[in-house]
Amino acid sequence: MKGRPLLHTSYASEMALFNTPAKRVWFGVLLAVAVAVPFLLTDDILQLLALCCVAAIGAIGLGLVTGYAGQVSLGHAFFLAIGAYTAAAISGDPDGRVIGFGVTNMLVWLPAAGLAAAAAGVLVAPLATRLRGLYLAIVTLGLVFIGQHIASEWSSLTGGVGVGRPAASLEVFGYQLATTDAFATRDQKLFWLMLALLLVFALAARNLARSKVGRAFTAIRDRDIAAGVIGVNLARYKTIAFAVSSLYAGCAGALLYTVSGYFDPSSFSLLLSVQYIAMVLIGGAGTVSGAIAGAFFITLLPRLTRELQAWVPFISTQPNEVPNVFQVETILYGVLIIVFLIFEPRGLFGLWVRARNYWKAWPFSY
């Protein structure tokens, strides 16, 4: 319909993913900026942005189980670890110091990491059908400790605490995806690769969220008795939620350390789980774009606090001095979670909605 772009003349056009011109334009602009950005930024920032994209994949996963399905999981670090070690072991050097099977193709180790973590998620899901709320949070927290214990003991897989092992290699059928060549640097390629993967995972999550499955998730989150009475099989959908969430975590875990190339069992601590919870809560629980925004925000936060040091000289960058930037960071996570929960439970996404509504209504203040 010319002249009335917001008028839908079929259910199909209304149900489309980008169902308004504004959404299409925004998405196009963002994508164009993202693709162009590597030509403008330095390599260390690109590396950080690549990490943001991977973290966003993990955050979308947690967002599905916690934000959409309402099952609070503190065990995300556990599933990230399963993905990271599955990928690293499959692609590792068979003659190396740690377990490796020498299958370096990303098209093998990435799905394998996702599936291994998803399988673990399916095993954990029955807990969610018996426990709710805080109890579930505490039990999933237990997973993190179990995972950490196994990772520090099983040094033939993990390399042991303080030593670690190389991450999976970014290679498809013998072609190295991230090496510096005449056209682009390693970090530029890394960023594009992770961005492309993020787009795929985000699109899949959006489709899932707007489908029958996503609706069932929200029904379980908001009123589980009513959900059962209208025909939602609670056990089945909680299992699906955990499986998909863990699959995302597994893939994110597998990719996360390919950026630095190396990782150590101490990475998968409770702090990592808390960071992902913070991403979901700060970004806005129950939205995919919120999880992405939250992931970028939390991943960039350490960099910002380090910049802060230039302005606030009494904060030290040495971990053994007080106050140091690491303490500031930890406190900031806590403060941000509390501030957002109290003042804008819809997170960054909510701020965006408010800003948008303000401009829509401008110059009227209601």
Partner 1 sequence: MTILEFTDVHLSFAGVKAIDGVSFTVGRQELFAVIGPNGAGKTSIFNVLSGVYRPRSGRVVFDGTDLVGKRPHEIAALGMARTFQNVELFANLTVLDNLMLGRHNHIRYGPLSAIAWLGRARRAELAAREAVEQIVDFLELEQWRRLPVGLLPYGVQKRVELGRALAMEPKLLLLDEPVGGMNVEETEDMARFILDIRDELDIPIVLVEHDMGLVMDLADRVLVVDFGRAVATGPPADIQHHPDVIRAYLGEVQPT
| Residue 57 near partner 1 by CB under 8 A | no
* 240 in contact with partner 1 (CB under 8 A): yes
Instruction: Render 207-272 in DSSP notation, one character per residue.
Output: HHHTSHHHHHHHHHHH-HHHHHHTT--HHHHHHHHHHHHHHHHHHHHHHHTTTTSEE-GGGSSHHH
- In angstroms, what is the minimal distance from the CB of 244 to partner 1? 7
The verdict on 9 binding partner 1 (CB under 8 A) reads no
Interaction between residue 213 and partner 1 (CB under 8 A): yes
Distance CA(56)–CA(280), nearest Å, equals: 10
Cβ contacts of residue 86 below 8 Å, gap of 6+?
Answer: 109, 112, 113, 116, 117, 250, 254
Q: Is 156 one of the binding residues for partner 1 (CB under 8 A)?
A: no
Select from 134, 229, 322, 342 the one that contacts partner 1 (CB under 8 A): 229
What 3-state DSSP class applies to 105? strand
Q: Whole-angstrom Cα distance, residue 208 to residue 241?
A: 10
User: 113 or 216: whose CB is closer to partner 1?
Assistant: 216
Does the footprint of partner 1 cover residue 233 (CB under 8 A)?
A: yes
Is 12 a residue that touches partner 1 (CB under 8 A)? yes
Closest contact distance (angstroms) between CB of 248 and partner 1 is 11
| Residue 94, helix vs strand vs coil | coil
Min dist CB 322 to partner 1, Å, is 44
134 binds partner 1 (CB under 8 A): no
Q: Are 120 and 81 in contact (CB under 8 A)?
A: no
The SS3 of residue 22 is: helix
- Pair of tokens at residue 63: 């967002």
The DSSP string of 47-71 is: HHHHHHHHHHHHHHHHIIIIIIS--
C-beta closer to partner 1: residue 92 or 114: 114
Give the interface segment with partner 1, choosing from 25-33, 133-141, 213-221, 290-298 (CB under 8 A).
Answer: 213-221
Closer CB to partner 1, residue 20 or residue 156? 20
Candidates 104-112, 205-213, 269-277, 321-329: pick the segment binding partner 1 (CB under 8 A).
Answer: 205-213
- Binding positions for partner 1, rule: CB under 8 A: 11-12, 15, 17, 204, 207-208, 211-216, 218-219, 222-223, 225-234, 240, 244
